A and B are shown apart, each in its own frame.
Chain A
Amino acid sequence: MRLDVNLLDYALIAIYFVVVLGIGFAARRAITTQDDFFLAGRGLPAWVTGLAFVSANLGAIEILGMAANGAQYGAMTVHYYWVGAVPAMVFLGIVMMPFYYRSRVRSVPEFLRRRFNPSTQLLNAIMFAVAQILIAGVNLYALALVMEALLGWPLPASVLVSALIVLSYITLGGLSSAIYNEVLQFFVILAGLIPLTVLGLMRVGGIDGLADRVRQSTLGEAGLHTWADTAGDNPMQAHWIGIVFGLGFVLSFGYWTTNFAEVQRALSARNTNAARLTPIVAAYPKIFIPLVTVIPGLVALVMFDGLGQGDSAYNDAIPMLMRDLLPNGLLGIAVTGLLASFMAGMAANISGFNTVFTNDLWAAHVVKGRDDAYYVRVGRIATVVGVALGVGTAFIAAGYSNIMEYLQALFSIFNAPLFATFLLALFWKRMTAWAGFWGLLGGTLVAIASYVLYKSGTIDFGTELNASFWGAGLAFASDILISVLVTFVTAPKPVEELRGLVYGLTVDVEDDALKGDERWYRNPLFLGIGALVLSIAMYGVIL
């Protein structure tokens, strides 16, 4: 399938990348310290960090994948947003962010060092760094595949060109360029997806026309419901208990509250209030994103007979709509949005990687106590190395795409034990340093074991989705169990060292509130509850 891209479209794409690189150069001038490079100087307002937060997760794999899920499973796909994201984002903002932000750590592993010990930091930092490189590589490979299919670019060329663009703007401007570009990308993606959705709906006769035609499709009536038959037969073959606890609790809280590539965006906010608002501001667009991913998926299902069978994959839903619905011009904007989202996804991985590598591996365990200029330089080198490894991974992925898929599925359950460790760490001051280490290691090994046993056919969880629910659940439970057991046989840390890191042990930090923070529209609790209510209300529209 080839898009009919002309000179005009290429001009629109080119303009975008000139702007992206321009942001890199402009952001470079503001960088002197580590906080400037790794945390954008901790000076950003909540709307910027919030949009970057949602954007860091809005990679093209996510967009194409959620449209594919929409075509395959129908309306149930919204669970990934309203159950599987919003509650965890609100929890992160209201409950966890004060600990992260006020402890002044630069990363999630650094928090683990303060709460537990350097070994826990090292364990988490290595796992995170490896995962980010592999995911960046997979992202890059997926981008190259799409470019090859849509525009006819050879695979190695698109891998190298896009890696170079990401490399230049992060090496130049550090996290500020990554974040600014994520904000810009957020709007460009919407500028492509909104017209696509509207034109798609017009083509199939509006919402009513779409509903009628979905009923006659392979999906049938079930494609228009979210909770109906979740105790029996439904398109996802998922039980409501699995959706609520597996997706909504273990998987989603694990991902959103401990994944440093996300949390980093909030750490770069200008004060505690803005940091807490970051994931909450992000929750509002997140609620509405399924309108421009799941609906196009359903439109594609009814417009293209045989989608998902034979040669046409569900993942082609959005590209096929772009081909049939968008005139040149608009097509250029939509392709730009896709390209931008691939790169932003990769940039989030790489900027997370360079921070953790520099802060938690190099500065914490290899070369300690040097000045900021030295570590900023290490950060820039880590960026180059990270991108190079990502390119290497992309080429490996091209040869062994199955292995990469497995690894990605595995990483999606890695966060579950980390979340268990955090939950205990924040609310149980007795939990010991080594309980942090062994709980995390044990939980992670259980996650790997359950996935390997599922893949080798030793245990049957039914579907891939159920396997990840169960794998994450088991990893979560064993992390808790091991942490509690180890806690009772090891000595706790002195209470004085835990101030500011554990609930109930307050610390005197100066109040960093800004003028206007007391208004209702800057109140994390009010806006957070608002997001939860809105999510539930959305289910009222499509039950």
Chain B
Amino acid sequence: MKLDIRQVIGGLFLLYGVILIAVGLIGGEAPNLWTGAAMAVFGGAFLAWARLKRI
């Protein structure tokens, strides 16, 4: 199987996003929360793209 960089980008950003959202909720730092949300959405979009158009 070939390496699909979209899955790597998507996975990393989704993971980063989820961590930042969790940290933002616990610590109450708004910048972590909205950056985390943006990164999670971005990562999800890449995963969806990789899923919809396979190489």
Chain B residues near A (Cβ < 8 Å): 2-3, 5, 8-9, 12-13, 15-16, 19-20, 23-24, 27, 29, 31-32, 35-36, 39, 42
Q: How far is the CA of A21 from the CA of B29 in the complex (A)?
A: 31
Residue of A180, A191, A326 contacting most chain B CB atoms (<10 Å): A191
Residues of A within 8 A of B12 (CB): 15-16, 19, 184, 188
B8 touches A19 (CB 8 A): yes
Cβ distance A216 to chain B, nearest Cβ, rounded Å:
27
Cβ distance B3 to chain A, nearest Cβ, rounded Å:
4
Q: How far is the CA of A199 from the CA of B19 in the complex (A)?
A: 20
Q: Which of A297-326 contact B (CB under 8 A)?
A: 326
B27 touches A30 (CB 8 A): no
Q: How far is the CA of A23 from the CA of B16 in the complex (A)?
A: 17
B22 to chain A: closest residue by CB:
A329
Decide if A183 is an interface residue (CB 8 Å cutoff): yes
Selected A-B contacts with CB under 8 Å, 7 pairs: A176-B3, A187-B42, A191-B16, A191-B35, A327-B32, A329-B36, A333-B16
Q: How far is the CA of A502 from the CA of B2 in the complex (A)?
A: 37
**Which of A27, A48, A188, A329 lies in contact with B20, CB distance below 8 A?**
A329
Q: Which of A1-32 contact B (CB under 8 A)?
A: 8, 11-12, 15-16, 19, 22-23, 26-27, 30
Residues of A within 8 A of B36 (CB): 329
A183 touches B9 (CB 8 A): yes
Decide if A195 is an interface residue (CB 8 Å cutoff): yes
A22 to chain B: closest residue by CB:
B8
Decide if A330 is an interface residue (CB 8 Å cutoff): yes
Q: A180 with B5: in contact, given A12-B19, A195-B31 (CB under 8 Å)?
A: yes
Q: How far is the CA of A15 from the CA of B15 in the complex (A)?
A: 9
**Which of B3, B24, B39 lies in contact with A27, CB distance below 8 A?**
B3
Residue of B13, B35, B36 contacting most chain A CB atoms (<10 Å): B35
Residues of B within 8 A of A326 (CB): 31
The main secondary structure of chain A at its interface with chain B is helix
B2 to chain A: closest residue by CB:
A30
Q: How far is the CA of A48 from the CA of B3 in the complex (A)?
A: 13
Q: A195 with B23: in contact, given A23-B3, A184-B12, A327-B29 (CB under 8 Å)?
A: no
Q: A333 with B35: in contact, given A8-B23, A16-B12, A191-B16 (CB under 8 Å)?
A: yes
Q: Which of A312-371 contact B (CB under 8 A)?
A: 326-330, 333
**Which of A23, A27, A199 lies in contact with B31, CB distance below 8 A?**
A199
**Which of B2, B9, B31 lies in contact with A327, CB distance below 8 A?**
B31
Cβ distance B37 to chain A, nearest Cβ, rounded Å:
12
Q: How far is the CA of A276 from the CA of B52 in the complex (A)?
A: 26
Q: How far is the CA of A119 from the CA of B8 in the complex (A)?
A: 43
Q: How far is the CA of A19 from the CA of B16 in the complex (A)?
A: 12
**Which of A16, A183, A184, A329 lies in contact with B23, CB distance below 8 A?**
A329
Residue of B5, B23, B39 contacting most chain A CB atoms (<10 Å): B5
Cβ distance B2 to chain A, nearest Cβ, rounded Å:
7
**Which of B3, B19, B35, B42 lies in contact with A26, CB distance below 8 A?**
B3
B13 touches A330 (CB 8 A): no
Q: How far is the CA of A33 from the CA of B46 in the complex (A)?
A: 30
B31 touches A330 (CB 8 A): yes
A180 touches B3 (CB 8 A): yes
A199 to chain B: closest residue by CB:
B31
Residues of A within 8 A of B20 (CB): 329-330, 333
A41 to chain B: closest residue by CB:
B2
Q: How far is the CA of A15 from the CA of B12 in the complex (A)?
A: 8
